[in-house]
Amino acid sequence: MKKKNQLTEIEIDELVTAQANDDNAWEAPETVERDSAATLALSSELASRAAFFARLHKMPVAAWLESIIQERLAFEESAFAGLKQVMEEKAPYKTS
C-alpha cells in the first residue's frame, strides 16, 4: 500500500521538469569533497613506466597520471563529438 504523500517517479519527473528554470524552487547547491583519492590498480610494468615519465616531467606520479588522463579524456570527447557530428550530417533524417 502506497503512502498518501509519496510521489511516483512520473510525478517527480513532471515536478522537476516544471520547476527546472525556477531558481527559487531549488535549494542551495551542496558542496561535496572526496575523503580520499580514488584507487587504480596498475601492473608493475605500467606503474614503473608511469613513474619514469613522472620523474622526467618532475611531477608526482599521481599528478602526472591525472594530467595524462585529463588530456586523453579531452581527446576522446573531442573525437566523439566530431564523430557524432559526422553521423548526424550523414543521417537521412534530422533529430532536432
Q: Provide the b/e sequence for 53-81 (b: ≥16 CB within 10 Å).
A: ebeeeeeeeeebbeeeeeeeeeeeeeeee
Eight-class DSSP state of 5: T
Separation between Cα atoms, residue 17 and residue 23, nearest integer Å? 12
Report if pTM > 0.85: no
Contact 58, 69 (CB under 8 A): no
The C-alpha cell that represents 68 in the structure block: 595524462
pLDDT digits (tens, 9 = 90+) for 50-90: 999 999 999 999 999 999 999 999 999 999 999 988 888 88
pLDDT digits (tens, 9 = 90+) for 13-61: 888 888 888 888 888 888 888 877 778 899 999 999 999 999 999 999 9
